[in-house]
Structure 1
């Protein structure tokens, strides 16, 4: 998995909670390469997967299946830094949630959130990119509980959502969930979501500071993720292509995100899954053709059920048939040290790699 980073305050108060439950916080944190001091320093970063492992291990070792939610209840939205500033200073609740959803990927590359306005309700959904299933479920429950903290800051301490859903099975007692969300969630659902009444989005945020909002938005706009999500998708797609499972559905399963979230993240980076898949196929076609592999073998490796589909794609990519491409790549090229006097440059065709463009 790609080593995503997150601010250490994602584990704020984790040491105290671990100790209260009878654990050794320093040992547990350091076993996952987390400096205990980093959990109370907004300027320190830790690996996202390590943070999730701390929460997951604490839940298992201390027999506390609601550890993620308990930790969230001890944390204020102050741990969110500039995101917390937006929540307190946007014009309306809907504006605040929209902004957070838009900026979340900038500060936590592994996370994605979305606010969808339906005819009867507004649906806030959340997902995260983690391979360890149990750790992921703990992190999802923690993040959804943090979202509830934010909703109650904006809508009042007595706010109860219309519905709460989780993709995973129930891990803790129903009482634990009711204490956090005000109602019992639905499990084994399509998405992790909190359903809010539509009128709640229009509620103005009291005592807001427009100047603070502008500063927070300016700060978040300048942050760039440490690694493009599209590059991660490209890497996973290539592996899936090898086992003939390169589809949006299979890719989404591999990265533990809903297909709609995958497409939205790719769109934010100016691409689509279909374009990434096409680029991966193009690069692989070049590599395999250079080895002299039979055309039929290359077509199958690229996931084409019909050789004619590969032929059309090859002409689109390289302007020649698969056999012509293979012949060209297998033909010895002139030594670059040969000067124009030894090799007629004008009579040679320029050979471009799969990631190059001819300049004029």
Structure 2
């Protein structure tokens, strides 16, 4: 098995988003929930053939979108939660075996978190020491991805199943947090994790008591662990860096709540002069103004779906000093006012 995984890593040219092992069994699961997998994959820009090879790479924005579209088109609002509930660590490919082959549950979590940036790019993943607990934080940080609820619930389900592999199927975390608003069927989340679940939190997180992590992993294999860690690093050594446009978009998104983003404030953290950033965006057929406009447009539609968020606050989050300026821009994008869009949506 080690040889075939290494060969796959070298053959397919590196990870540029998320390894397709993260979508193992996705087509079949969409069908089980009453969705049309071919249609959902198609509108999400995901090639079904990529799902057959766990070391091939999926665009992260397309991956997150396919989960959202699956929830929408199947009528299963908690699609990611249910998909994650049945997602076994073995199905995660390289990163799954890195956890399974570790010595103890604690080292399994540490090794899994350490390898996760190789498995999925543009993502915050960390273990925070909270005294008698570890808090595992997870958050997608990609400038083009605003709707990511289903992915968050799927990933927390993956973590749960990894810990339960060593601690037993009845193990439960102390708490689970999600950054998105509370969904209608939130009681299913409490049942799935057998824990108190909180929404509208800063990160997607799981509180894991340290005393539960001293248990040995049943499939510990130090040699195979080293092979898997080497394989996932090799896969990423061939990958390209995050595109310049995505980096600029992400920086714009971070700056918007502070007001109108300045070109130099976006360029400097990227190690570029204002002139260099303008030139490189122009090579992509873009201008800085167009990048800001596109990010604002995408974020506006995301915020409008958060019905508890007032439109006045939304305007400030998008960097507008006045609601009227936001409303004029929104009419330019969609031909209707933000309130009309929210009502019709």
The normalised TM-score by structure 2 is 0.66
Q: Show structure 1 runs of 5+ residues with no match.
A: 252-274, 289-360
What is the Cα deviation at residue 142 of structure 1?
0.9
Alignment of 1:4-153 (within 5 A): 4-130=16-142, 131-134=144-147, 136-153=148-165
Equivalent in the alignment of 2:274: 284
Distance 1:287 1:72, change over 3 A: closer
- How many residues are matched? 258
Cα distance in 2, alignment partners of residues 43 and 278 from structure 1:
29
Q: Give the root-mean-square deviation of aligned CA atoms.
A: 3.2
Equivalent in the alignment of 2:175: 163
Q: Which has the higher contact order (CA 8 A, sep 6+)?
A: 2
Distance 1:57 1:205, change over 3 A: same
What is the Cα deviation at residue 159 of structure 1?
0.6
- Confirm or deny that 1:176 pairs with 2:166: no
Distance 1:74 1:192, change over 3 A: same
CA contact (8 A) 2:179 2:200 kept: yes
Distance 1:207 1:16, change over 3 A: closer
C-alpha distance after superposition, 1:3-40 (max 9, x if no partner): 94323332222222222333221122122232334323
Cα distance in 2, alignment partners of residues 220 and 43 from structure 1:
9
CA contact (8 A) 1:166 1:186 kept: yes
Distance 1:17 1:218, change over 3 A: closer
Distance 1:86 1:43, change over 3 A: closer
What is the Cα deviation at residue 202 of structure 1?
2.5
**Corresponding residue SS for 1:194:** strand
Distance 1:8 1:285, change over 3 A: closer
C-alpha distance after superposition, 1:209-239 (max 9, x if no partner): 1111111122223333634359654664479
Alignment of 1:218-229 (within 5 A): 218-224=230-236, 226-228=239-241
C-alpha distance after superposition, 1:188-224 (max 9, x if no partner): 1122110011112332223411111111122223333
Q: In terms of Rg, which structure is larger? A: 1
Q: Which moved more, 1:107-116 or 1:231-240?
A: 231-240
The normalised TM-score by structure 1 is 0.63
What is the Cα deviation at residue 169 of structure 1?
0.7
Cα distance in 1, alignment partners of residues 161 and 171 from structure 2:
10
**Corresponding residue SS for 1:185:** strand
Cα distance in 2, alignment partners of residues 277 and 43 from structure 1:
32
